[in-house]
Structure 1
Amino acid sequence: MAIKTDGLHHVTAIGGSPRRNVDFYARTLGLRLVKTTVNFDDPGVYHLYYGDAEGTPGTLMTLFPWEGVTPGRHGTGQATTTSFSNPELSLGWWEEHLKKVGVESTRSGIPGEEEALTFLDPDGLRLSLVAHPQGDPRNPWDTPLVPAEYAIRGLHSVTMQVAKEDASVDMLTDGLGLRYIGEHGDKLRFAAGDGGPGTLVDVLVTPNAPQGLVAGGTVHHVAWRVPDDATQRAWRDELIDKGMNVTEILDREYFHSIYFREPGGTLFEIATDDIGFDVDEPLLELGRALKLPPWLEPRREQIQRALPQLNLPAENNPEAQKV
């Protein structure tokens, strides 16, 4: 394997009510809404990006929120838990915070090593907050509801659920350049680079579990980081040589992407680091306005009429800040 990923770029999931989605991820979890756009393949649906102040790769959770979406099913062939990195000793604050907004959570792990607070988003997507002693240098988004001392730093890891491990493990190690670092509870853990937060994937092997169904409340795909277009092209060639069915390179405006399914069924994306979310609006104004790619701009009026209104948090909505 000549090319290795530096870790997670983003995780994309399917949600329900767009207004409820913004309320949960931007207010309850305290992430910054860094881009309000649409699903480029289905522009009648929002694509909302949440992350740190700049939308740094490795901090991003993105959602396709459909009003009245059909619920999915967690199972094999998909990423079943998305975990965020949090400061050590922060989980007590988060337990109380989530309880106040009616979100039930379960705490597990070993204090002083790695603890996790697991819960569901409003559409049933399984999330966890992971507190760990090694620290996380990434700067959080600081909001009135979630102070910086407790705030999410970025992605920590994803859990892939598979019926058989061998082919999926080969893809992680030989296809993505990850290394096996040991068992983590009932899972196998793999890491990119130095193995810190944002570089980890856990593999849960459940041969008797049902096949997952990707719809509301499930992960659509997991994206891995690549520095630039040239590396992505070379990596695509390598994957094709390994017999993978890989898409053409697609322009997502804020990064370029290729997609393929790992043998266990999870959809993977390889996304470039080198464009960013301030390419079409100033950093201080990220997420405030609906942004469309050039090929959809002629349909702006029609697209905006079809989309429901979002209740943006004050930091995304200058008018709200005046109230």
Structure 2
Amino acid sequence: MKLKGIHHVSAITASAAENYMFYTKVMGMRLVKKSVNQDDVSVYHLYYGDQKGTPGTALTFFEFPETSKNREGVSSISLISFRVKDDKSLEYFAKRFDEFGVWHEDIADRAGRKTLYFKDPEGQRLMLVSDDGALSETFIPWELSSIPQEHQVMGLGPVRLTVKDPEETLCVLMEIMGYRLRGSYKAEVEGQKDIIVLETGDGGSGTEVHLEIRSDLPFERQGYGGVHHVAFRVEDEAELREWIDRIDSNHIRNSGFVERFYFKSLYFREPNGILFELATDGPGFDTDEELEFLGEGLSLPPYLENKREYIEKVLKPLDTRIRRS
């Protein structure tokens, strides 16, 4: 029983329309599912990824129009990263960001890899990571992307957690979840401890968690530009139920089995309060839509179909149809 890496990350936006424009037009990612927050059907839940939303490529956003801006701090997921093929892809995006007026830093080394740190229009903290020419076996390029295939986002890279007290978080990650120490690198803030790098499964940037220890920050207050939770890849439902038993046996409060239709899940908070999810690789985002038209209509799981009329009435229209030549 072994976690395979990062499954998806779910963040917060105040505007689904502006969010859609940035991640599809600037980042070249595909909207693979336009749905609703299953716990609050009055707001959108948007899923971006590769051609079919392969596990490990999905970044999702809950739309909360009335939320305030995220206030950065500890007990948070403080950085989302994306894998790109190589250093040339970083250079491509740096130029593209300049063209679109996207704030970014210079290309820099982090944890032994070339990286490009940037922010989306809402201040979401993001980073591109060069895979140094490695090709993801699971990545499926999107033919209609605004980005050339050789430079497209291949999937999620390391996720950074920021905490004040790392010991119990490390205990959960390593002793319960099976993560192992890969190394460390210099903190980006003077006077703080080195950032700890952990990996799972077969290793590689798509499996990593980077643990940042900060003694100089208050607790984060989530809002737009912040991250809601991170999900880790589990093979299938049978293995997920084994993980539920493992979490229960360690007396960690959790959601129990949750049906999300596109995958099955378990939710729990690690000791510093960061929300973790374990999610199965299947059945996937193409279970209720044809692959060619993913994300173009409003998708609802079967157990919400009886509320479709109400949901469509309360949602602000969002046109995500692809103009095909």
Q: TM-score range by the shorter chain?
A: over 0.9
The question of whether the paired residues in 1 share the 8 Å contact of 2:29 and 2:145 is answered with no
Q: Specify the alignment match of 1:17 in structure 2.
A: 15
Which residue number corresponds to residue 70 of structure 1?
A: 68
- Alpha-carbon distance, 1:91 to partner: 1.2
Q: 1:103 to 1:239 in 2, by over 3 A?
A: same
* Secondary structure at the counterpart of residue 296 of structure 1: helix
The residue number in structure 2 matching 1:135 is 134
Match status 1:119 vs 2:122: no
Cα distance change on mapping 1:43 and 1:268 into 2, 3 Å: same
Separation in 2, partners of 1:250, 1:86: 32
Q: Distance in 1 between matches of 2:30 and 2:56?
A: 14
Distance in 2, matches of 1:229 and 1:74, equals 35
In structure 2, the CA distance between the partners of 1:112 and 1:74, relative to structure 1 (3 Å rule), is: closer
Aligned twin of 1:57: 55
- Report if aligned partners of 1:85, 1:156 keep a CA contact under 8 Å in 2: yes
- Determine what percentage of the aligned residue pairs are the same residue: 38
1:234 aligns to 2:234 (yes or no): no
**Aligned twin of 1:263:** 271
Deviation at 1:174, TM superposition (A): 1.2
How far has the Cα of 1:113 moved from its partner? Answer: 4.8
TM-superposed CA distance for 1:116, in Å, is: 1.3
Q: Which moved more, 1:143-152 or 1:106-115?
A: 106-115
Separation in 2, partners of 1:215, 1:143: 32
Rounded to whole Å, the distance in 2 between the matches of 1:291 and 1:310 is 13
Q: Is the 8 A contact 1:85 1:136 kept in 2?
A: no
Partner AA of 1:178 in structure 2: Y
SS, match of residue 30 in structure 1? coil
What is the deviation of 1:246? 1.0
Q: Which residue of the other structure, out of 251, 255, 261, is the alignment partner of 1:253? A: 261
For residue 31 of structure 1, what is the aligned residue in structure 2? Answer: 29
C-alpha contact 1:7 1:200 (8 A) present in aligned 2: yes
The structural deviation recorded for 1:264 is 1.6
- 126-135 or 257-266, which deviates more: 126-135
After TM superposition, the structure 1 stretch with the greater mean CA deviation from structure 2, 10-19 or 109-118, is: 109-118
User: What TM-score do the two structures reach when normalised by structure 1?
Assistant: 0.93
Could you list the runs of 5+ residues in structure 1 that have no partner in the other structure? none
Distance of aligned partners of 1:284 and 1:144 in 2 relative to their CA distance in 1, 3 Å threshold: closer
1:87 aligned partner: 85
Residues 1:60 and 1:298: Cα distance change in structure 2 (over 3 Å): same
* 1:218-239 Cα deviation digits (max 9, x unpaired): 1100000111111111111111
RMSD, matched Cα: 1.7
Equivalences for residues 1-323 of structure 1 within 5 A: 3-89=1-87, 90-110=89-109, 113-133=112-132, 135-137=134-136, 138-143=139-144, 145-186=146-187, 187-312=195-320, 316-317=321-322, 320-321=323-324
Whether the aligned pair in 2 keeps the contact of 1:21 and 1:65 (CA below 8 Å) is: no
Amino acid paired to 2:121 = P
Secondary structure of 2:173's match?
A: helix
1:304 aligned counterpart, secondary structure: helix
Distance 1:113 1:241 in 2: 37
Q: Which moved more, 1:89-98 or 1:252-261?
A: 89-98
Other structure's SS at 2:151 match? coil
For 1:44 and 1:305, the matched residues in 2 are separated by 9
How far the C-alpha of 1:144 sits from its partner, in A, is 5.0
Rate the CA distance shift 1:293–1:175 in 2: closer, same or farther, 3 A.
Answer: same
Q: Is the 8 A contact 1:75 1:161 kept in 2?
A: yes
Residue 202 of structure 1 aligns to a residue whose secondary structure is strand
Cα-to-partner distance string for 1:24-52 (whole Å, 9 max, x where unaligned)? 11111111111111001100100111001
Separation in structure 2 between the aligned mates of residue 70 and residue 112 of structure 1, nearest angstrom: 33
Q: Contact 1:82 / 1:128 at 8 angstroms: preserved in 2?
A: yes
2:24/2:145 contact within 8 Å kept: no
Greater shift in the superposed pair: 64-73 or 115-124:
64-73
Corresponding residue SS for 2:197: strand
1:140 Cα offset (Å): 3.0
User: Deviations 1:88-127 (Å, cap 9, x if unpaired)?
Assistant: 1211111111111111101243399511111111221101
> What secondary structure sits across from 1:295 in the alignment?
helix
- Following the alignment from structure 2 to structure 1, what is the Cα–Cα distance between the partners of residues 117 and 33? 26
CA separation of 1:174 and 1:283: change in aligned 2, threshold 3 A = same
Q: Which moved more, 1:35-44 or 1:183-192?
A: 183-192
The answer on whether the counterparts of 1:86 and 1:129 sit within 8 Å (CA) in structure 2 is yes
